[in-house]
Amino acid sequence: MNQKKLSNKKSSLVYDTSFKLSYLKPGYWGVWIAVAFLWVLMLLPGSFLDALANKLGDIFRNVNKKRRRIARTNIDLCFPELNEHEKKELVRRCFRHQARSILYYGIIWWAPGFILKKRIVFKGQENIESSLSNNRSVIFMAAHSLGLEAAVSAATMNYPSSGPFNPMKNKLVDWLVAKGRSRHGGILYTRDAGLRPIIKDVRGGCTMFYLPDEDLGADRSIFVPFFGVEKASVPVLGRLAKSCKADVLPCMACYDEDKHHYVIHVLPALPDFPTGDDYEDTLVMNKSLEEIIRLCPSQYFWIMKLFKTRPDGKQKLY
């Protein structure tokens, strides 16, 4: 399935990535300046980008005390075995990787394919091919890695894809992100479309990304351990895999600071998944998330309020 088949879909459900003249209004000029900056960065060597990212990351960490506290709280909870120096270093590197991910947006969204293949290395494709050869669909279970955009780009360069798009407040930023994610033919749906058209696409041969680590509140979640802490987790992945007749392949993007490129790790499909038991399936999901996060722990989005929703009677953490 590819972009040419969009004519067979209801246009109201597919996210509109056409350019609007309103994006040229003065209110968007600040965004265009940022776009020009990202274009310039595309021409610079990876070593320069890394040095700049480290400087900016340190500034972000020092200025944004709220997010720094959230990151430190999460790391205290998830890695109690680390000493004080190791925890501080993990927070420091997290902010540096966050800055790096922003500086790489231009490369990921606009660079020619031959450059992308140098800056993004795809590992584990044999696991994808194994599922496809067994007539199974593929769901990439991804953590909120700071290199997530690189992972999406790597997958969509090689396989047809379908997924939801959550709009942002700034319409121009909205358009830039949507265009970047769909540049290789990926299909994006509006929030109103729900999961039905995506499930249909995945059954028809598309891959999809599913990120299950965000706290979406008690009404939609069950409490399951995550790094040993009870976390509000949405018990949907098992049902989604069953509906799509899909294998679930854990996926994590890690930046290699020595070679100045992203490495996208695709692990083997979760065995005997789903079981049909929501709790057991969600427990397997969280354990798999822990496994891929440990591949490059400083590159996880620790500034999220992972444990915002607490079990009854438990103290708030943030």
Expressed as residue numbers, the domain containing 200 is 3-299
137 within a domain of the structure (yes/no): yes
Count the domains in the chain: 1
Task: Give me the pLDDT at residue 3, please.
Answer: 42
The verdict on pTM exceeding 0.85 is yes
Structure-token match 């444990």, residue found? 307
Q: Indicate whether 12 pLDDT > 80.
A: no
Secondary element (H or E) of residue 164: strand 162-164
Residue 90's identity, in one-letter code, is: L
Tally of CB atoms within 10 A around 129: 12
Residues with Cβ within 8 Å of 223's Cβ and at least 6 positions away in sequence, in order, are 230, 231, 232, 233, 311
Assess contact for 269 and 181: CB atoms under 8 A.
no
The pLDDT value recorded for residue 11 is 58
Q: What is the predicted pLDDT for the residue at 129?
A: 96
Residue 236 is assigned to a structural domain of this protein:
yes
Residue 32 lies in a domain: yes
- Look at phi and psi of residue 135 and say left if phi exceeds 0, alpha if psi is from -120 to 50, else beta: left
Q: Is residue 305 part of a domain?
A: no
Is residue 8 predicted with pLDDT exceeding 50?
A: no
State residue 5's pLDDT score: 46
Over 70: is that where the pLDDT of 144 sits?
yes
Could you tell me if residue 311 is inside a domain? no
Secondary structure (3-state) at 305: coil
Q: Is residue 312 part of a domain?
A: no
In-domain check, residue 308: no
The answer to whether position 309 is within a domain reads no
